[in-house]
């Protein structure tokens, strides 16, 4: 049975886990994300747990956690983007593109610029340079201070000149 107390406890563990992760304490962060999920599973907790696993190099577990997040809230964009990013790291560009396109269609997502950047990375790695430039440019338009998007855009543009 879900209570206000269990939701509050879940949020407390989620916040603690995030701070631990930002400090580089991934194992302890993972433990706290799991505790958060035990009290009240959320898409955010599963997504961030996946992110913590990714820092330890366990991309398969990271992807599984993101899929659990999507099961809880299919409108939440972060896990789609994260799966795409992990698949890029595994050199599975075509599948990554599919997940990143789903991130761009997500109703609850505040960071579309990340999905555009990752889509650009997948295109660039596939040799689709003009498509990559468009995605980097879109990422810069959505987040003008996004330095990585600028760097990737101008680096690729320089290679094409």
Q: Is 27 exposed, middle or buried (0-12, 13-18, 19+ CB in 10 A)?
A: exposed
Query: What sign does the CA torsion over 136, 140, 108, 70 have?
Result: positive
| Separation between Cα atoms, residue 126 and residue 45, nearest integer Å | 32
Q: Per-residue b/e over 119-150, b at no fewer than 16 CB within 10 Å?
A: bbbbbbeeebeebbbbbbbbbbebbeebeebb
Render pLDDT for 14-48 as a digit per residue (tens, 0 to 9).
Answer: 999 999 999 999 999 999 999 999 999 999 999 99
- The three-class DSSP label of residue 44 is helix
pLDDT of residue 58: 98
Question: Chain-wide mean pLDDT for the chain?
Answer: 97
Render pLDDT for 80-124 as a digit per residue (tens, 0 to 9).
Answer: 999 999 999 999 999 999 999 999 999 999 999 999 999 999 999
pLDDT of residue 149: 97
pLDDT mean over 136-158 = 97
The answer on pLDDT for 2 being more than 90 is: no
Render pLDDT for 130-141 as a digit per residue (tens, 0 to 9).
Answer: 999 999 999 999
pLDDT of residue 49: 98
Render pLDDT for 38-78 as a digit per residue (tens, 0 to 9).
Answer: 999 999 999 999 999 999 999 999 999 999 999 999 999 99
The answer on pLDDT for 1 being more than 80 is: no
**Report field, pTM of the whole predicted structure over 0.85:** yes
| Residue 90 DSSP label | T
Confidence of residue 11 (pLDDT cuts 50, 70, 90): very high
- Phi and psi, residue 47, nearest 5°: -65, -45
Domains delineated in the chain = 1-73 (1.25.40.10), 75-161 (1.25.40.10)
Say what the alpha-carbon torsion angle 47, 149, 93, 60 is, to the nearest 10 degrees.
Answer: -30
Helix (H) or strand (E) holding 129: helix 129-142
The answer on pLDDT for 153 being more than 80 is: yes
Q: How many Cβ atoms from other residues are within 10 Å of residue 2's Cβ?
A: 9
């Amino acid at each position: 049975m879900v209570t206000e107390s269990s939701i509050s406890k879940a949020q407390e563990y989620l916040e603690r886990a995030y701070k631990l992760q930002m400090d580089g304490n991934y194992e302890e962060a993972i433990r706290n994300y799991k505790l958060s999920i035990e009290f009240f599973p959320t898409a955010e907790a599963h997504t961030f747990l996946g992110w913590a696993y990714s820092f330890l190099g366990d991309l398969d577990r990271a992807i599984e956690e993101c899929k659990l997040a999507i099961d809880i809230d299919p409108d939440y964009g972060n896990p789609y983007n994260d799966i795409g990013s992990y698949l890029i790291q595994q050199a599975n560009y075509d599948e990554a593109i599919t997940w990143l396109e789903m991130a761009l269609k997500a109703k609850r997502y505040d960071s579309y610029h990340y999905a555009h950047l990752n889509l650009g990375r997948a295109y660039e790695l596939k040799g689709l340079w003009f498509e990559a430039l468009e995605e980097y440019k879109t990422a810069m338009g959505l987040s003008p201070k996004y330095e990585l998007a600028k760097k990737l855009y101008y680096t690729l543009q320089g290679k094409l000149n």
